[in-house]
Structure 1
Amino acid sequence: MQDPLPESAHELGIRGEQAALHYLERCGYEILERNWHCFAGEADIIARDEDTLVFVEVKTRSDVTCGLPSEAVDKKKRARYEKIALSYISTYEQQECPLRFDVISILFADTHRALLRHHINAFASTKDL
């Protein structure tokens, strides 16, 4: 018998972000910020992958009724993330560095099992994710 899923979308999102953080740390990323806010909105995770600054959008779902989680990252969300990155860089980065936008898509099967897909350089890899 499967374990029940979190009751709210907010709880599911928190669980997804935590899974994404653990995954990135295991992959050797240095986590710089979590839920960083500025005038343009919020970045779920800001990390460093060697010398590259990475802005990570985490999308979590418990089923595919509304599509795959990554399908929620549209042109509007991409434009917002670019503004967030500009704000972060102008505030914190003292020197030029490579910049990348990733999406981590998580689909929970139950509370202990999930399918995680890391879309590296997601904004540049396809027109529509």
Structure 2
Amino acid sequence: MSNLHEKAIAASERFLERRGYEVLSTSWEAPDGFGTIDVVAMDEDTIVFVTVEAKNATDGFPEEDNDRVKREALAAKWLAENADRGDVSVRFDAISMMVVSEDRALLRHHINQLSTMESDEE
């Protein structure tokens, strides 16, 4: 994981906490090595799986990870490992960052990103 990506995850965690989310996990790795979930958080009674992408300003905003099948499989693995969370709704968000200086970035929070993708495809 790159230093830029690690900083972006930390900034995303702070961003979500300031908005009332409870961060449950960051940089969670599936036990079988299948992949990583950048941030898992609670938004009221919904578990939110957040993908974080970041680029330097000269490169523009990053493309979001739209691999629905992989994101859902990772979420299922996280939920299996955290079965105590009970019967809750889940949502898939994305945070994109364009880093403009050492301590400044433009941030886009795409709430319910996978649902938005379905609407766009119809």
TM-score by length of 2: 0.86
Matches within 5 A, 1:16-95: 16-38=8-30, 39=32, 40-63=34-57, 65=59, 68-69=61-62, 71-74=63-66, 77-94=67-84, 95=86
- In the alignment, structure 2 segments of 5+ residues that lack a partner are none
1:64 CA drift (Å): 5.5
Moved over 2 A (4+): none
Of 104-113 and 56-65, more deviation after overlay is shown by 56-65
RMSD: 1.7
1:22 to 1:45, Cα distance in 2 relative to 1, 3 A: same
Q: Percent identity?
A: 36
Name the structure 2 match of 1:98. Answer: 89
Q: Which runs of 5+ in 1 are unaligned?
A: 1-8
Q: Distance in 2 between matches of 1:109 and 1:78?
A: 29
Provide the TM-score with structure 1 as the length reference: 0.82
Equivalent-residue separation in structure 2 for 1:93 and 1:52 (angstroms): 14
Does the 8 Å contact 2:24/2:42 carry over to 1? Answer: yes
Higher relative contact order (CA 8 A, sep 6+): 1
Q: How many matched pairs?
A: 116
